[in-house]
Amino acid sequence: MFDSENGFFMLIGGVVVAVVLGQSIFFLIKAYRRALALGIERATLRGTIVSSALFTIAPSLAIVATVLALANALGIILPWIRLSVIGNISQETTAATAALETVGGTLSQKVTDPEAFTLVAWVMTLGSCMPLILLPLFLKKLQGGVNKAEGKIPASLVDALSAAAFIGLIAAFVSRSIAGKGAAGDNPLYGASFGDGAGVMSVVTLLASVVCMLILQRIAEKKHIRWLETFAMPISMFFAMGVAILMAQVLPENIAFLEWRG
């Protein structure tokens, strides 16, 4: 057993966050000055800054939820660092899951072995670092090439393929919630059958999230409520998690925790 939330790890997290913030502030100042030089009004720039900040709040809460979800197994520091640099909700969850699988663990169990913990840290880091190697090497050349190629590939195909890649990734997690086996749990409150495999709980949570999202988006679209459009995703996610808590409290145990795949 080791402390995955010790002061040293916290310090490392602080250094990483400082680097990321430093880069962003530097670019913000440079671009702001250039914008003024180009003759863009300060009011327009202020509008860009405020709207971008507001737009970011809700998706950031979804990222925080991912940090919390991963914290169950990894403590809070490593997920915090990973989600602050390159970190992507789906990729970090996938990388952590894949790394834990190699040592027979899952995201539902606390990682207590330091070697397993460092293994996860390395897999998450090396799995996500490729863009930081590719960008400095190729972005400048790529810009020239892309500008020439742009217009040759039909926009409808580019849109379809990028949506398809995302759908394939989400489909993997959605299908596991419908038909995947989990690691059987042994829970003092909810009983030995309470694991994280597909069952009543996972399917109802999934459906609650999907339905809530679609309803909120419909309302936002019909009533032209811009903020709701932005907040629909975190609201739906927290609503679905609330449904899971409610089910655990209200439904009989043999129904709420029924897992058809074990």
Subset of 54-83 contacting other proteins (CB under 8 A): 55-57, 59-69, 71-72, 76-78, 80-81, 83
Angle between helices 77-84 and 7-38 (to 10 degrees): 20
Report the first-to-last Cα separation within the chain, whole angstroms. Answer: 28
In the block, which residue shows the tokens 């040592």? 103
- Determine the Cα–Cα distance for residues 181 and 108; give it in Å rounded to an integer: 13
DSSP 3-state assignment of 17? helix
Which one of residues 74, 105, 111, 202 is an interface residue with other proteins (CB under 8 A)? 202
State in angstroms the smallest separation of the CB of 143 from other proteins. 6
Q: Which two tokens stand for residue 155?
A: 């926009």
Q: Which of 49, 192, 255, 258 binds other proteins (CB under 8 A)?
A: 49
CB within 8 A of 174, min separation 6: which ones? 206
Site for other proteins in 100-159 (CB under 8 A): 101-103, 108, 114-123, 125-136, 138-140, 142-143, 146-147, 150, 156-158
Specify the residue, 1 or 223, whose C-beta has the smaller distance to other proteins. Answer: 1
Rounded to a whole number of angstroms, the CA Rg of the chain reads: 22
Size of the site for other proteins (CB under 8 A): 174
Per-residue DSSP letter, 188:
T
Q: Which residues, numbered 83-102, are part of the site for other proteins (CB under 8 A)?
A: 83-91, 93-95, 97-99, 101-102
The residues in 4-33 that bind other proteins, with binding defined as CB under 8 A, are: 5, 8-9, 12-13, 15-17, 19-28, 30-33
Q: Tokens for 35?
A: 């914008």
Asked if residue 249 binds other proteins (CB under 8 A), the reply is: yes
